[in-house]
Chain A
Amino acid sequence: MLFRWTLLLSAAALLSSCQSMMYAKNVKMIGFEDDIQAGKGAGPIRGEDCQWIVLGYEIGGRVKLDRAFQAARSASNVKGDLRYINNVKTEWDGFNAGNIVAKNCLVVKAMGYR
């Protein structure tokens, strides 16, 4: 009985200490320019940087966070570049089709302001 409890407590302790990291979870504000005075909202924006893998061969360079941010800044649904973004979140996206073709993307999501 004592052994079972010890095992359960150890498992719980291990799980609670398990930590995972992402680049941005909910960053309040990131400015692309020095001027971050309250601006006009441009709605939700999304930018990504992707890498294709075909038959195990990586096409293009490694996925980069700065390129994903740059893509988010000049998102196609926004007229002109954004000055700053709020509520910034990053996540991984993509697919793997039977190890023949795979795509890995680093996605930036936020609210944009001009």
Chain B
Amino acid sequence: MKKSRFSVHVFAMAAIIPLTACLSDRDLIVSFPVASMTQASLPQGQAVTEGKEGNVKFCEGDKAISTKEATVGVLDELILRAERQSKSKFIRDVQLFRSAGSANCFELDYKAGVLGAANARPAAGSKSDVN
């Protein structure tokens, strides 16, 4: 009797360990270097550098801030939330994930975009220092 209980416990543990491993993994859907919901591009001579890291989440049924319509764009919503959270017009190192254990929840990891002057580009045909 004791032996069979032990087997049940071992079996249960063996089943739980991979299950928790699956639940804790987020599924990366897509990533981009930079994105914005408010700006179409940058003026000449400007660049966006990386600021503070952040994370925003949106689940089906949550109140959307990007639209009042019934259809919500997941990227639209999360990029706008990230911009508001970080108080920036651009976000960098954008990574969209499906949340662990929930098919209808999405997360966005990002870094706040900091606007600054772009480094001067080398003129066309100029020699590079790298051999």
Given known contacts A37-B42, A38-B41, A84-B41, A25 and B32 CB-to-CB distance under 8 angstroms? no
Total B residues in contact with A, Cβ cutoff 8 Å: 37
A8 nearest CB across to chain B (Å)? 19
Q: If the complex has contacts A21-B104, A24-B75, A113-B41, are A34 and B34 also in contact, measured as CB distance less than 8 A?
A: yes
B31–A37 touching, CB < 8 Å: no
Distance from B104 Cβ to chain A, minimum over Cβ atoms (Å): 7
Query: Is there contact, CB below 8 Å, between A27 and B76?
Result: yes
Q: Would you call the interface of chain B mostly helix, strand, loop, or mixed?
A: mixed
Which B residues are in CB contact (< 8 Å) with A24?
73-76
CB neighbours (8 Å) of B45 from chain A are: 37
On whether the beta carbons of A38 and B60 are closer than 8 Å, the reply is no
Residue of B nearest to A113 (CB): B41
Interface size class of A (residues with CB under 8 A): 20 to 34
What are the residues of chain B within 8 A of A22 when measuring CB–CB? 71-74
What residues of chain A lie closer than 8 Å to B118, measured between beta carbons?
Answer: 35, 37
- Contact present for A34 and B29 (CB under 8 Å): no
Residues of A within 8 A of B40 (CB): 28-29, 38, 86
Which positions in A face B, CB cutoff 8 Å?
17-39, 64-66, 69, 84, 86, 88, 90, 113
Given A21-B74, A25-B67, A29-B34, 19 more contacts at CB 8 Å?
A17-B61, A19-B61, A19-B71, A21-B73, A21-B104, A22-B71, A22-B74, A23-B75, A24-B74, A26-B76, A27-B35, A27-B75, A27-B79, A31-B35, A36-B90, A37-B45, A65-B30, A84-B41, A90-B73
